[in-house]
Structure 1
Amino acid sequence: MPVLPPLPGFMTIGRKPQPPVLVKPQRRALVNCAAYVDGVKDSSCNDPVTALQRVRQTGSGFVWVGFHEPTYEELAGVMETFDLHELAVEDAVHDYQRPKMDRYGSYLFLVLKTVKFQDHVSATSQGGTVVSSGEIMVFLGHDFIVTVRHGEHSELADLRRRLQADPEQLALGPAAVLHAITDRVVDEYVAVVREIEEDIDEMESSVFDPDQDVDTEQIYRLKREVLRLRRAVAPLAGPLRSLSTTPNPLIPDAVREYFRDVEDHVSHVAERISTFDEILTTLISAALAEVANRQNQDMRKISAWAAIALVPTAIAGIYGMNFDHMPELHWRFGYPMAILGIAFICSLLYLFLRRKRWL
């Protein structure tokens, strides 16, 4: 089996530097693999071994290998081919990772959280998850980039076609691909934030609308989705700041300037998410206060009707004691006067309570 020469400046800590062992990975999780020389795809390279040989023989270009939800065994071949650390490969295999950036010798390992807003009827309707999440793990080296995707909505096929249509951008190297991936992920953050903002506006209107019932569970559900989005966005600010400000041989100066724009968008999204969280907290307090206010109004109505019903109950109870000597008991007009007295007193009570807005 052919052995490739080591990367220029390649350092191995704790053991004698050795060239990577080229082992062809299984094809089940391998989505795409290509070598790009001077920004143009070499169609003859369709596996990592051949692509890496092509790039290192020419001394220019890079390899882009894409996986979708691979197993550790499926990534083992790529781990040996590109000399990836086993801990980074293990993180790439398992999803639900926190966004981060780690440096392993001559390459970077970056974890990105992808999000997608799910279609639903309205913010006040019963529903499940509003924001679904996935992950993209990226291994970035001098002449390669390996992407590992988790989730159905994190597909990079459209991004790959768009980059292939722009050879000048691909000619900048794998860092240009990393920028395009991060830029697309952050654009999805912006789109999700816009949709959540509309839901919050609708929720706010429903809370202060007296004709609609207030459901605090819906507000809690939306607050949980905002928290899910914050967990995807907030940890990414540090890695993007490092990529945009810290000199790195893997990130050319021309590409580093573009990372500053991505970092600015992430900061803007993080600020809006914090604002959403505060608004939802306020809406929860307002909704609880509104519920308590409506309950208080209901109790006042019940108390008012109970006071009105007390009048005939008291009069009927008094004249129902069946004593022999009671005023008006044997009077001909006693019964009509009792009925008129009950109606008069109840009417006065009704008008008084209506004026006090208890009814």
Structure 2
Amino acid sequence: MPKEGKNITENVNTPPGTATHVGDKKMENAKLTYTKYNKEKIDRKNIKDIDEFINDQETDKVKWLNITGLQNTELIENLCQALDIHPLVIEDIVNTGQAAKYEDYEQYLFLNTKSIVFNKEDELDTEQISFLLFKDQLISFQESESSIFSPLNKRLAEGTYIRKNKADDLLYGLLDTVVDHYFIVMEKIGDEIDLVEDELLSDPNKDVLHKIYTLKRELIFIQNTLWPMRNVLNTLSRNESDLIDERTNRYFQDVYDHAIQMIDLTETYRDISSGMLDTYLSSISNKTNDVMKILTIYSTIFIPLSFLAGVYGMNFKYFPELNWKYSYPVFWLVSIFITIMMIRFFKKKDWL
């Protein structure tokens, strides 16, 4: 099941601004990928020292440093301190239990977002992706190595419009990639709902009930992740910061619209899963009613037979029929006749 809190007690009672990694340790060593580009050229490489990024004096290119792995808090702290980043921002970067948020520090913008992924056990989980946007450079922080930014890297290599613009367009492209990844997750959830619906109609059982509850929890988990993202994107699309061009705001509005679409789809799927739960309960109730109906019919058939058996089982001394040699066969004929007539009556009423 999805984890709604990741070791959140690790950061309890520590001073504000303490850079303590909170969450699963997904990578032993941080990976630094440095990308520089303009409309004519792009250069991407892995670097070992943050000084190569900090001391780069080129001004005609957009610079993007992607840090994968948040366990090395010393490296992240040194980088942020060199760029005069607020200590509370550093704390939010390494605290993976943090909700999505947006903060404007005039010289830079900080965004904390969540990517929804399926882990190795094929269960829903989140990965935190944080961004620091400056005038001509962007720094992103990922929990673990993934292919979520591969489509954007491909577009950069092909020289699309992002190469012709500033770092705010790169931020738009990265956020758009994160939100688009929600569509992949929701498509898989939709396929799972279709399968559970088929199982529910063919054979409602406890396994189906477990799957329905799992779906409901997953959808609640997704919705709780999407709402803070919606607020971040809404604020970003109306932002008046000098670091974001007015033209780019329209693109952020488009990403915001995609997030709203995901929230609507999540609510639709939640309604469907609630309907499936009602259908399951109705099916179980119908099964119980069918069993009770059969038991009632059999009981009703045996009531007159039990009455006859009870009458002739009484210990009275004088029973005229007992001295008649045909009394036993007649008793069975009467019992069989009553049974047949009652069965015919039940079938006529469509109770059988």
TM over 0.5: yes
Q: Shift in Å at residue 336 of structure 1?
A: 0.8
- Which position in structure 1 is the counterpart of 2:153? 160
Task: State the Cα deviation string for residues 216-239 of structure 1 (Å, max 9, x = none).
Answer: 332221111111211222222222
Structural mapping, 1:314-325, within 5 Å: 314-325=307-318
Partner Cα distance (2:114, 2:329) in 1: 80
Verify the 8 A CA contact 2:148 2:181 in the aligned structure 1: no
- Which position in structure 2 is the counterpart of 1:19? none
Q: Shift in Å at residue 346 of structure 1?
A: 1.5
- Which position in structure 2 is the counterpart of 1:34? 35
- Which position in structure 1 is the counterpart of 2:204? 213
Q: Which amino acid aligns with 1:341?
A: V
SS of residue in 1 equivalent to 2:155: helix
Partner Cα distance (1:304, 1:153) in 2: 63
Q: 2:233 aligns with which of 225, 229, 240?
A: 240
2:41 pairs with 1:50: no
TM-score with structure 1 setting the length: 0.79
Deviates more, 1:330-339 or 1:347-356: 347-356
Q: 1:154 to 1:306 in 2, by over 3 A?
A: farther
Q: Shift in Å at residue 174 of structure 1?
A: 2.0
Q: 1:58 to 1:38 in 2, by over 3 A?
A: farther
SS of residue in 2 equivalent to 1:324: coil
Count of residues paired in the alignment: 321
Verify the 8 A CA contact 1:67 1:148 in the aligned structure 2: yes
Q: 1:45 to 1:134 in 2, by over 3 A?
A: closer
SS of residue in 1 equivalent to 2:65: strand
- Which position in structure 1 is the counterpart of 2:64? 64
Partner Cα distance (1:38, 1:65) in 2: 18
Structural mapping, 1:191-210, within 5 Å: 191-207=184-200, 209=201
Partner Cα distance (1:159, 1:116) in 2: 18
- Which position in structure 2 is the counterpart of 1:82? 83
Structural mapping, 1:1-359, within 5 Å: 28-36=29-37, 40-42=41-43, 46=47, 47-54=49-56, 57-71=57-71, 72-116=73-117, 130-151=123-144, 153=146, 155-157=148-150, 159-166=152-159, 168-207=161-200, 209=201, 211-214=202-205, 215-359=208-352
Q: Shift in Å at residue 29 of structure 1?
A: 0.6
Task: State the Cα deviation string for residues 118-169 of structure 1 (Å, max 9, x = none).
Answer: 89xxxxxxxx865333221112122322211125546435533432332752
Q: Which amino acid aligns with 1:111?
A: N
TM-score with structure 2 setting the length: 0.80
Q: 1:284 to 1:344 in 2, by over 3 A?
A: same
- Which position in structure 2 is the counterpart of 1:15? none
Q: Which amino acid aligns with 1:302?
A: L
Q: Which amino acid aligns with 2:309?
A: A
SS of residue in 2 equivalent to 1:351: helix
Q: Taking every aligned residue pair, what percent have the same amino acid on both sides?
A: 27
Deviates more, 1:92-101 or 1:168-177: 168-177
Q: 1:69 to 1:330 in 2, by over 3 A?
A: farther
Partner Cα distance (1:275, 1:75) in 2: 40
Q: 1:244 to 1:307 in 2, by over 3 A?
A: same
Verify the 8 A CA contact 1:138 1:148 in the aligned structure 2: yes
Q: Shift in Å at residue 335 of structure 1?
A: 0.8
Q: Shift in Å at residue 262 of structure 1?
A: 1.3
Mind listing any 5+ residue stretches in structure 2 that lack a counterpart? 1-27
Partner Cα distance (2:44, 2:215) in 1: 47
SS of residue in 2 equivalent to 1:58: coil
Q: Shift in Å at residue 325 of structure 1?
A: 0.9
Partner Cα distance (1:253, 1:169) in 2: 15
Partner Cα distance (1:352, 1:82) in 2: 89
- Which position in structure 2 is the counterpart of 1:12? none
Q: 1:65 to 1:191 in 2, by over 3 A?
A: same
Verify the 8 A CA contact 1:135 1:151 in the aligned structure 2: no
Q: Which amino acid aligns with 1:74?
A: L
SS of residue in 2 equivalent to 1:250: coil
Partner Cα distance (2:122, 2:343) in 1: 49
Q: Shift in Å at residue 31 of structure 1?
A: 3.3
Partner Cα distance (2:108, 2:350) in 1: 73
SS of residue in 2 equivalent to 1:284: helix
Q: 1:229 to 1:358 in 2, by over 3 A?
A: same
